[in-house]
Structure 1
C-alpha cells in the first residue's frame, strides 16, 4: 500500500469518529434545550424576561421615609452620570448597606 492510501484510510476513520462525536453533541444539545424549555414553562419566565427584570428595593427601603428631596437629588445625580455619588449620599442619609443603597438607586434609575 502506498502512503497516500494510508493517509486516505486514516482520514476516513477520523471523519467517522468526528461524525459520531458531532452526533453525540447534537443529541446532548437537544436534551439541554428541552430541559431549558421545561424549566421556562414551569416558572412562566422566558430567557429575555429573566434578564430584564430588576427587583424593587427591599420593603424596608421603599418605606424608609425616603423624602422627595432626597429622591430628586438622587435622580439628578443619576442623570448627571454620578451613580456612585448617589449611592454614597443615600448610604449617608439613610444609613443603608452598600447593596441596599445600590438596589434603591438602580430602582430609581429604571423608574
Structure 2
C-alpha cells in the first residue's frame, strides 16, 4: 500500500510539472508572436519600430519616410531626409538604432554629416 502512495505522489508531481511547463511554453509562444509582430512592423516602417498610433504622442508628427517608406529605402537617405526636415534628434535616434551606436557616436556622426562629411 505504501508503494502505491509513492507512485501516486510521483504521478501527481509529474502532472503538476507538466502543467507548469505547458504554461511556460504558452507564455513564451505569446512573447515570440509579439516580437515577430513588432519586427514585421519595424520592417514595414523602413527599419524603425513605430508604436501603435494610440500610444504615440499626438503632437509629434511622424517623419515623412515613416509615412511613406519608399521615400527613403536606405539609411543614408533616411538620415539626410530627417536632417532636411529639421529633425536632427530623430536622425540621431535612427542612426543609433540602425548601427547600434551610443548617443555620442550617433550625434557625432550626424553632426559630421551635417557639416558636409561623408556618410560612410
TM over 0.5: no
TM-score (norm 1): 0.44
Structure exhibiting the larger radius of gyration computed from Cα positions: 1
TM-score (norm 2): 0.41
